[in-house]
């Protein structure tokens, strides 16, 4: 399988190349197939992560007016990224969009690019997103809240709509999918033990419905809360290989600590906290 993705940050010299590169990989990291277009601005918390050239490459969820939750593998470097909230049709000026540059990218310290474990990242925005009739915050699950197999969820994004990974849509797409048990997802006929406790699987037993390239970091919503982030998989819509998502509930404590400890430090430095 050939995957087109953004070249990662060169950590040695901190250079960032936003140009598309293609690598031969055994899994799709970027990964809506078999879905439909929801009503405009009905999924108010989803954001589009775009390159400095305006090219969509990942999804995310607004969890605070200054913070976006996405996948760690969506890190192409702060200088090359723009966050767009309130969007529905990419490339069209609908008057509902809000733009903000990242001020800080915080991937989880345990993120492993090889195993995809802890594939989660917070983006601190340089300017707040205004909450209005087109934009709202994404509700998150409590720490370590689980999901039973068969629970129906919904994943949304602007990623590929075909099994081959082509046909990028302009409008937001969404699809309903059932949760697949970790036991089944880890079987020898599926991912053979590569699903960790920090991952969730979701997909149709008959195939044809899935997240795909360009949906990475986007929300898997169950019971009205973002339980998963599009992370990786093997193909798109293959019944043997459900989509793999970062389990957000495993990281709720880290999310809260990261967001609110930042504000605590700011308040303390401003002298608004009393001394211990």
With helix as H, strand as E and coil as C, how does 119-169 read?
A: CCEEEEECCCCCCCCCCCCCCCCCCCCCCCCCCEEEEEECCCCCCCCCCCC
Catalytic residue among 51, 156, 160, 216: 216
CA geometry: angle 144, 145, 149, nearest 5 deg: 120
Point out the catalytic residue in the list 48, 51, 61, 73: 73
Could you tell me the CA-to-CA distances from 175 to 159, 210, 215, 221, 251 in Å, in that order? 12, 7, 12, 10, 24
Q: Which of 48, 100, 108, 119 is catalytic?
A: 119
- Residues with Cβ within 8 Å of residue 256, at least 6 apart in sequence: none
| 216 catalytically annotated | yes
Nearest to 51 by CA among 10, 5, 97: 5
Q: Which residues contact 105 (CB under 8 A, 6 or more apart)?
A: 75, 77, 78, 81, 121, 122, 123, 124
Provide the β-strand partners of residue 155: 175, 220
Indicate the SS3 state at residue 19.
Answer: coil
State both tokens at 243.
């989509």
Active site residue 126: no
Token pair 């090219």 is found at: 55
CA-CA distance, 105 to 63, in Å (whole number)? 15
- Residue 23's region, left for phi above 0, alpha for psi from -120 to 50, else beta, is beta
Phi-psi region of 227 (alpha: psi -120 to 50; beta: other; left: phi over 0): alpha
Q: Give me the active site residues, please.
A: 73, 119, 216
């Amino acid at each position: 399988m050939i995957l087109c993705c953004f070249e990662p940050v060169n950590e040695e010299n901190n250079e960032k190349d936003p140009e598309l590169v293609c690598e031969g990989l055994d899994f799709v990291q970027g990964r809506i197939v078999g879905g439909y277009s929801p009503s405009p601005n009905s999924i108010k918390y989803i954001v589009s992560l775009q390159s400095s050239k305006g090219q969509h490459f990942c999804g995310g969820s607004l969890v605070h007016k200054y913070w976006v939750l996405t996948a760690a593998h969506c890190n192409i470097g702060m200088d090359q990224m723009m966050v767009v909230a309130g969007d529905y049709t990419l490339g069209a000026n609908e008057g509902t969009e809000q733009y903000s540059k990242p001020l800080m990218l915080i991937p989880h310290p345990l993120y492993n690019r090889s195993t995809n474990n802890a594939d989660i990242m917070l983006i601190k925005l340089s300017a707040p997103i205004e909450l209005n009739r087109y934009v709202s915050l994404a509700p998150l699950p409590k720490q370590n809240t689980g999901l039973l197999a068969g629970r129906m969820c919904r994943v949304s994004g602007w990623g590929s709509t075909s099994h081959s990974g082509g046909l990028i849509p302009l409008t937001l797409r969404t699809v309903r999918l059932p949760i697949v048990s970790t036991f089944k997802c880890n079987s020898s006929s599926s991912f053979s033990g590569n699903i960790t406790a920090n991952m969730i699987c979701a997909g149709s037993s008959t195939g044809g419905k899935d997240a795909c390239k360009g949906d990475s970091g986007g929300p898997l919503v169950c019971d009205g809360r973002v339980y998963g982030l599009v992370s990786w998989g093997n193909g798109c819509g293959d019944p043997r290989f459900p989509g793999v998502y970062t389990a957000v509930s495993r990281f709720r404590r880290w999310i809260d600590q990261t967001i609110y400890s930042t504000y605590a430090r700011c308040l303390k430095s401003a002298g608004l906290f009393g001394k211990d």
